[in-house]
Structure 1
Amino acid sequence: MEIRKKLFISILAVIMISGSVFIPITDDSSVEAATSYVSLKNKIDSIMLDSRMKNASSSVTIRKASTGEVVYEYYGDRSITPASSLKLLTGAAALETLGENYRFSTAVLTDGKVQKGTLKGNLYLRGQGDPTLLKIHFDNFADGLVKQGIKKISGNLVGDDTWFDSVRLSAGILAEDEPYYYAAAISALTLSPNEDFDAGSVIVEAKPTSNGNSTKVTLTPETNVLQVVNKSKTVPKGYKNTLKITRQVGSNKVVITGNSPIGTFGKKEWISVTNPTLYALDVFKKSLSEKGVTFESSSKVVQGKTPKTAKSLVSRKSMPLKDLIIPFMKLSNNTHAEMLAKEMGKVVYGEGSWDAGLKVMREYADSIGLDSRKWNFEDASGMSYSNKITSKQMSQLLYVVRSEPWFSTYSKSLPIAGLSDRFIGGTLRNRLKIAPAKGNVMAKTGSLENIKSLAGYAYTKNGETLIFTVLTEKNKTSTIPVIDQIAITITNHK
């Protein structure tokens, strides 16, 4: 009996000791977690008192990446114009709808036959939404035709852009933006001047020559689509560089004005064209000419549809989407966003239009549990001032996509703070350049007049990943320094 009594007392003691140890650990852990986020909340609340934020309309949400739990919220359900941070939805929808390995196609076809070096028929250049076409690809097409014995073409050179509809500009594009690459016209057949892939634009550069003379103007690629009116002058060293390069809205007339001092680099602008299809045809015809391929005097350069019976002569597929998404997201390429939207519409609904593409994006949002009623947008790039989104919905998107099979590709496409390489740091390469934020913030920027945003992921000092979304509009002065301070505070959190 005594032995049993002692054994009972021993077991009871163990249970009591275990209980006394277990309960305080749980309570302390909860208190510590709560205190940790209260500290973060207090610091960000203090930042939000900055006059630049008080004078703006803002929406801020921070979540735990591991659980989606909201740990900070400042008007999280307030609708704000997101600017380019809308591309976070566009990129996610494109990866889900098209797939990481999706490639765009371009082909050269004919409805005729080659007889003694002459192609008796039309030559069709058919575009299917590839924003990565360069002059060198047209050179390769021309080489391919020459190897097939084609030296002359008796018919027309026809550009087929019917893969997309004929609407060139998305809703909300302002007239003042239209001449520049970031508001370029959209076509299924287009061309980029370099490997940034700013489709539908030409690099126009003016450099000083000798004092009193006009500047030297070069176009990359060379094209007759733009008509250059050069009113600029070269002035002595030490004078102010006042060069301005723009295009008259509604025309392809590029006007260059101002002074270019000797010893300077002059000025360079990426100027959009009014009709990307004709631009692509013009450059392709130059490639053919450079390879010795000529046309009959009666041949014309026109737009049209490729006959179903046409035979493919040469073709090309673009890089896969998992590679294209790097310049798209890192450099915040508006043209890519709009072309991806139309491509999603074409693939899902057989209609390469904004209506169809934006419908796919909304349906994707609903499919992952977002509330598409709170995602009001009329383009895919974020250029429209009428777009409205809440920070809570944006941060929910960033939480949900972490479980997608393509998330690694998605996350790699985000600009990384403070890293100087353009295809790594992207639009954040000149921001948050000091530790601990440098290299520890991966986020999409957004910028329009009086509108700034930043949304993505940040690593804290204790190794936790937090999702943050900061949207601001009606800014009397730039809120970027304050937004960056929020990001720094998150990376300093422990």
Structure 2
Amino acid sequence: MLRKVMWVLALGLLLFTCMIPHTHVHVAGKEDKMIDRLTDYLANEEQLQGAVFAIHITDEQSGKTIFEKNADQRMRPASNMKLLTGAAVLDELGQDHRFETIVATDGQIKSGQLNGNLYLIGKGDTSLTYEDIQRLANQLHELGIRKINGDIIADDTYFDQERYSEDTTWKDESAYYGAAISALTVAPDTDHDTGTVKVMVNASSSSGKPEVKVVPETDYVTIQNNAVIAPDNEEAELEVTRTHGSNDIVISGSIATGANEQEWVAVWEPTEYVLHLFQDYVKASGIQVEGITKTAKAPMKHTELLRKESAPLKELLIPYMKLSNNGHAEMFLKHIGSKKKAGNWEDGINQLEHYLDGMKLPKEKMVIRDGSGLSHVNGITARQLTTLLTRVQQESWFQAFKTSLPVAGKAERMVGGTLRNRFVDTDLAGKIEAKTGTLTGVSSLSGYMETKSGERVVFSILLNGMLDEDEGPVIEEEILKIVYEELKSMHTN
């Protein structure tokens, strides 16, 4: 009788099992092989000896951990910090938000004359270029204005007057990635490195000295060209720097014969830079100016003459993430901190932390000092980054967020971004969408990856204390290669 009962129970269990829909079932031993390979690689990679590394890899949908090592160790994330800032600004402003730049007056236009002051009011447009400022000046002429009986005034009070985040070093000030932050700032091209000029050095001259061109053409900066054209048998190295506290740009060293080099140099005081350009363009359009130029807040009562709107935020996120634009990150942070007063770092960081709290990422377990990751004091864990990347998939703006990430091995600049020269001609090309990060001694990579079998994972790799941060990408790529290869048969149907 007992045998009969056991047989019936076994048959029932078999029938019940057959009724369960096929799902992913773990295949014993396959995941162990991946873990063994990763563990062996990490233990024996010479560049990691003496360094600190943190890795967290999860299933994209469930968030289940596939591999972790030091995943809860706070690390300097470098530009992986932009993932947090990008998510927060999308959540706060919305993917269709547009930024404005306004031209206004406190006077009246009569018989071709503007009797009153002219105001250029910045609202923190990250995409504004010098050509936009030139167009606004020309449009004033098209309105029929031929003379301004008043001053030209730049208003950048939408943000506070603090130009640099607290951990910016003086050596970063002249570099494009450390440019001063203002609510009224412009870029020299569509890379949108705000607050910079582009210095172009050409060595085709027969005089022995290279030719130098500045974009935009302006006397706001001065050029001291000490560079020479190197003989064919000599190694050439060119240096372009700005003297601290001034707009004197010094070009030194040598450049190879026939070579062309360019460098984006941050200006000292970006609002004054825009004001200087605007005045020049207004005069060049044929408008006479009687007054002076200065910076001040526009009066509450003013008449708007012109308005320039940016592209929607979802489009501005492309150069921000793809090209890892630090200036945009800090401007975004000030934007989300501008609810009750001028946008500033303290309120921006508080709002970012409030957003992360809502994502179940407690601020007490992070150190956040800026929006870009330029600070060496920031502290974020690999698990926190993968948690963020997993949870933002449920947001209405997620597609804009994901589209903004660099794509491995894609040559087009605004597609591959900072990953365009990585994973080229490998199976992983086009399979990784991730944010890169680099500081002295730091390399990071966090994002999404599709394996050979079509499995999708979320990953974060943070490397600190590197003797040479340029070795970081090699390590990151080897780690992801192992995951790509070994996860291809980790599940079955």
- The answer to whether the superposition gives a TM-score over 0.5 is yes
Deviations 1:54-74 (A, max 9, x none): 321011111111111112110
Q: Does 1:399 align with 2:393?
A: no
The residue matched to 2:446 in structure 1 has which SS?
strand
The equivalent of 1:490 in structure 2 is 483
User: Unaligned regions of 5+ residues in structure 2, if any?
Assistant: 489-493
The equivalent of 2:288 in structure 1 is 294
Residue identity opposite 1:320 in structure 2: P
Once the two structures are overlaid, the 10-residue window that deviates more, 59-68 or 471-480, is 471-480
Q: Does 1:421 align with 2:412?
A: yes
Map 1:255-270 to 2 at 5 A: 255-265=250-260, 267-270=261-264
The equivalent of 2:459 in structure 1 is 468
Once the two structures are overlaid, the 10-residue window that deviates more, 423-432 or 368-377, is 368-377
Q: CA deviation at 1:288?
A: 1.5
Asked if 2 retains the 8 angstrom alpha-carbon contact of 1:459 and 1:490, the reply is no
Distance 1:24 1:56, change over 3 A: farther
The equivalent of 2:69 in structure 1 is 74
The equivalent of 1:92 in structure 2 is 87
Q: CA deviation at 1:278?
A: 0.8
Residue identity opposite 1:315 in structure 2: R
Map 1:243-258 to 2 at 5 A: 243-258=238-253
The equivalent of 1:40 in structure 2 is 34
Q: Give the alignment partner of residue 345 of structure 1, picking from 330, 337, 359.
A: 337
The equivalent of 1:374 in structure 2 is 365
The equivalent of 2:271 in structure 1 is 277
Deviations 1:329-360 (A, max 9, x none): 011000000000000111x3433000011111
User: When the two structures are superposed, what TM-score results if normalisation uses the length of structure 1?
Assistant: 0.93
The residue matched to 2:427 in structure 1 has which SS?
coil
User: Unaligned regions of 5+ residues in structure 1, if any?
Assistant: none
Residue identity opposite 1:259 in structure 2: S
The residue matched to 2:337 in structure 1 has which SS?
helix
The equivalent of 1:331 in structure 2 is 323
Q: Does 1:432 align with 2:427?
A: no
The residue matched to 2:172 in structure 1 has which SS?
coil
Deviations 1:181-221 (A, max 9, x none): 10000000000110010000000112225344432211111
Once the two structures are overlaid, the 10-residue window that deviates more, 14-23 or 337-346, is 14-23
The equivalent of 1:384 in structure 2 is 375
The residue matched to 2:405 in structure 1 has which SS?
coil
Deviations 1:249-306 (A, max 9, x none): 22111001123343222x211000111101111111222222111212xx21111111
The equivalent of 1:113 in structure 2 is 108
The residue matched to 1:245 in structure 2 has which SS?
strand
Q: Give the alignment partner of residue 210 of structure 2, picking from 215, 226, 232.
A: 215
Asked if 2 retains the 8 angstrom alpha-carbon contact of 1:65 and 1:467, the reply is yes
Distance 1:137 1:365, change over 3 A: same
State the percentage of identical aligned residues.
36
Residue identity opposite 1:61 in structure 2: H
Deviations 1:48-105 (A, max 9, x none): 1112223210111111111111121101111110000011100000110010011110
Q: CA deviation at 1:385?
A: 0.4
Q: C-alpha separation between the residues in 1 aligned to 2:368 and 2:259?
A: 42
User: When the two structures are superposed, what TM-score results if normalisation uses the length of structure 2?
Assistant: 0.93
The equivalent of 1:233 in structure 2 is 228
Q: CA deviation at 1:24?
A: 10
Q: CA deviation at 1:14?
A: 7.1
Residue identity opposite 2:359 in structure 1: I
The equivalent of 2:491 in structure 1 is none
The residue matched to 2:119 in structure 1 has which SS?
strand
Cα RMSD over matched residues?
2.3
Deviations 1:98-134 (A, max 9, x none): 1001111001111112232221111110000002111
Q: C-alpha separation between the residues in 2 aligned to 1:143 and 1:390?
A: 50
Distance 1:25 1:420, change over 3 A: farther
Q: C-alpha separation between the residues in 2 aligned to 1:124 and 1:238?
A: 55
Q: C-alpha separation between the residues in 1 aligned to 2:204 and 2:55?
A: 51
Distance 1:38 1:349, change over 3 A: farther
The residue matched to 2:128 in structure 1 has which SS?
coil
Deviations 1:126-145 (A, max 9, x none): 00000211122122212221
The equivalent of 2:433 in structure 1 is 442
